[in-house]
Amino acid sequence: MARKPAGIVRYVDLLLRKSQVVRHTAARDILSLKAQETRGRAWAKRNGYVIRRIFRENLSAYKKGVKRPEFEAAVHALLEGDSDCLWVYDSSRYSRQGAGDVLKILDVPGKRLVFDLDRLDTDVEADRSRIIGKAEDAREYSRVLSEKVRETKATQRDEGKWLAMPPLGLKVTKKRKLKHGKLWPMIERIHREAAEGLSNRKIALGLTADGFRATRGGPVRSNTVGKILRNPVYLGWQVVTVNGHHQLYLNAKGKPVRVFAKGVETIPQEVWDKHRKIAAKIDRRKNLPTVKEQEEKPVERSPASGLMYCDGGGRDPKKHHNATIHGSSFRCGPLNLGLTTCPDPVSGMRTTVERVLAEEWRKKVTTSSPLDPVMMAVAENWVALANPEESQKESDARGQIKLAEEAVAKLDRLNAGGAYTGRDGEATFIKLRRSAVEDVESAREEWQAVAKPMADISVLRDPERCLKLWESGDAHYRGQLLRLAIERVYLKKAPYQGARLKADRLVIVWKKPRGWEPPKKKEKEETPGAGES
């Protein structure tokens, strides 16, 4: 047994690693790591070393892009002289990236690296070539194993087997097929409501209000709803994850693979197509009632529902909180759900909010100039309200123009990237682009055929007729009238308890016409200074 000279302390670091990841367990409590530590401590005691530090890893040492801070720290400590020796259980526990990771130590005199199980030691000159060979063997083994695993997974995907954790609302059968789980009704509801025109945010708030929760117990988030709506697995198809996004998996023949168990129903294709068209803005959003709502007695809703937001949560359109009806008041949405995410929640009597908002709306549409951007938006939106079928045709025609223009832009991007090289490639590009441009012109002609001139809004501009139109409609129609001119409304907090709600507590964001941009401010002309002509 080696003895240390009197007065000199030799330090050793232990590098412990388990390649198969064990989740929700501390590294020091993993059984195989504890066994390695026991063996390392015994080696240090026999050879007269004092353990300076123990490095523990629970990850792969071969996968590209995997960061190994513990491994890097252990090697750095040895090379910088913080430790005299680095002990590793065996060569495969050290690294599987090849000889490069051992040569950085072999080429530095006085640095000791020990692979206990292999009985290899850099202090033994004859072991150098064996250590390098072991490192290359470990790398080759991992490469072959990785290829076998990749081929096996590809075969299993082609067979329609699900290999990962089941998506939300689904569970895996013994044959690795997918079937409905406890949350499948929530998945169906999300797709159905999206096809009916509800936004992801409204869907998420409705689910949370009805008692549904996310996988970790918190409220359902709108980004979770968006991921569910974009995942083709709910149509029954095999998917793969690319850069964090789910994409349809195609086999060697270029065909999708069925992953749902036999007899298990998927989200209907027509429902999927409907909400994807709405997301692409080819179809207009329509807040149509659900089948359940049609069967039940209709409930009187507020004209301001969906327009109201809490000013206490900020006015950033991406972060603000909605204000929903709670009893006889409009209150901050998170507050109604029992959450504390709003820093300064607000509340206002529903009837007063509706009355004041209606007064402000009528004042705006009856007194503003016809050239006011808000009134131009009102004229555009009035077409959709007064003649919905004609408006839908115009919207569809605009959608076709957008698709045709995107096809031209895609060809230009491909050409810029070198997809059409050489004389033949250039001729092909010119031919394809000419055809795509013709499609754009054709789509514009179709749009011009159905596009209507600016609507006649004289009924809204006349105070008496406008009031009569408002009073003759139900809550739903009044809500549509408000939306002709109003984008959203922020409800501000009362200056003191019991204060009456007035117009100054409603911050109204008025709509603007499509493609409208604020006029640029004219630069002030410089006035001549004293003594200048």
The 3-state DSSP class for residue 132 equals helix
Pick from 56, 50, 66, 131: nearest CA to 92:
131
Q: Which pTM was predicted?
A: 0.38
**Domain of residue 106, CATH code:** 3.40.50.1390
Kindly state whether residue 226 falls inside one of the protein's structural domains. yes
Kindly state whether residue 202 falls inside one of the protein's structural domains. yes
Question: Tokens 């993993």 map to which residue?
Answer: 30
Asked if 230 and 281 sit in the same domain, the reply is yes
**Domain of residue 280, CATH code:** 3.90.1750.20
Asked if 291 and 224 sit in the same domain, the reply is yes
Q: E-strand spans in 19-133? A: 50-58, 85-88, 112-115, 120-121
Pick from 47, 53, 84, 51: nearest CA to 71:
53
Asked if 462 and 353 sit in the same domain, the reply is yes
Average pLDDT of the segment spanning 159-182: 89
Asked if 311 and 373 sit in the same domain, the reply is yes
pLDDT of residue 300: 53
Written in H, E and C, the secondary structure of 297-366 is CCCCCCCCCCCEEEHHHCCCCCCCEEEEEECCEEEEHHHHCCCCCCCCCCEEEHHHHHHHHHHHHHHHHH
Asked if 124 and 189 sit in the same domain, the reply is no
Q: Band of the pLDDT at 103, cuts 50, 70, 90?
A: confident
Asked if 340 and 463 sit in the same domain, the reply is yes
* Domain total in the chain: 3
Domain span including residue 192:
170-295
The top-scoring range by mean pLDDT among 36-50, 245-259, 430-444 is 36-50
Q: Band of the pLDDT at 490, cuts 50, 70, 90?
A: very high
- The tens digit of pLDDT for each residue in 411-440 reads 787 777 777 777 777 777 788 788 878 877
Lowest-confidence pick of 229-243, 297-311, 470-484: 297-311
Q: What percent of the chain has pLDDT over 70?
A: 79
Residue 15 pLDDT > 50:
yes
Kindly state whether residue 162 falls inside one of the protein's structural domains. no
Written in H, E and C, the secondary structure of 381-399 is HHHHHHCHHHHHHHHHHHH
Asked if 359 and 486 sit in the same domain, the reply is yes
Kindly state whether residue 412 falls inside one of the protein's structural domains. no
Q: Which two tokens stand for residue 525?
A: 């002309």
Asked if 350 and 499 sit in the same domain, the reply is yes
Q: Which two tokens stand for residue 224?
A: 């979770």
Helix, strand, coil proportions of the chain in percent (round to 5)?
45, 15, 40
Kindly state whether residue 152 falls inside one of the protein's structural domains. no
Asked if 285 and 320 sit in the same domain, the reply is no
